[in-house]
Chain A
């Protein structure tokens, strides 16, 4: 049976995930399981861009199988119970996330590139925090209950106040 393609344009050739594990392939799988568990549990995680891209592919595959085939499909259930170590997350995948994203057509996850923070930001005591450069993203599942990352979408240019005033002035002159 042919496996349906993913809804996102995913990178086929993986880059280094900057892992510190000694065992190359098993450590990679283990880290992917940890990150997938975090994503399904918290619905939004922050990580570096390579790990995010790698995790995103697996998450898309899991959610798509859950949406298409449901919990009674043998292969989907095997995949889910392999990649999600905590069994309550398998329940969440099939009972919460798959019904929520049934009608999604453009991918089930989203990646936001974060700005480089200042050294003291995110720290209430003003202590120096992590400093990362151009490699820190937020990976989230769509339609989550968390506060939206971009609450106010950018309005059209014609709705900016200077443009409204200019348009009114032009109309009054003409």
Chain B
């Protein structure tokens, strides 16, 4: 259909040129010109005049301040801040932690105690001596195991609560 239409149009154009048909009368547009008395909407002699006038597009005319930009970027709750669904409350201390990790608050104390025991263990074992026996950690005020091959690590302070197997009893009471 398009091809047919194109061929018809071209035929009309060629016939207009050959038979000197009258062009569409510009007087028909005078009403529109009266309603819009703008120099740019008037027909110009050359298209170069249109280019001289320039084209106006919709652009931002005022600069957005930094504060405003930051607000738009991070301050819209529906886009950026989402509620965490993967947080748990620690049973022991009540602090929040991510579901797949350990409680950081509890682990900090375990880690501090571990460093103490590690240091004592390396001192007990010594350097470049064959390590042949297990170690037993003994805190202040606890009985030492007797007649057993384990090496004893003595730590001069009270046993912390989280290290006891049963929280209601003290271990190895003398």
Contact = CB atoms under 8 A, between A and B. Distances in A.
Contacts of A100: 134
Looking at chain B, what size class is its interface with the partner chain?
35 or more
Interface of B is mostly: mixed
Interface residues of A, number: 31
Contacts of B16: none
B131 A146 contact: no
B28 interface: no
A137 B111 CA distance: 12
A91 B129 CA distance: 9
Contacts of B92: 151-152
A88 interface: yes
Contacts, number: 88
Given A96-B131, A96-B133, A121 B108 contact: yes
A86 B133 CA distance: 17
A115 B103 contact: yes
A114 B91 contact: no
Interface of B: 91-92, 97-98, 100-104, 107-108, 110-111, 113-114, 117-118, 121-122, 125, 128-137, 153, 160, 162-164, 167
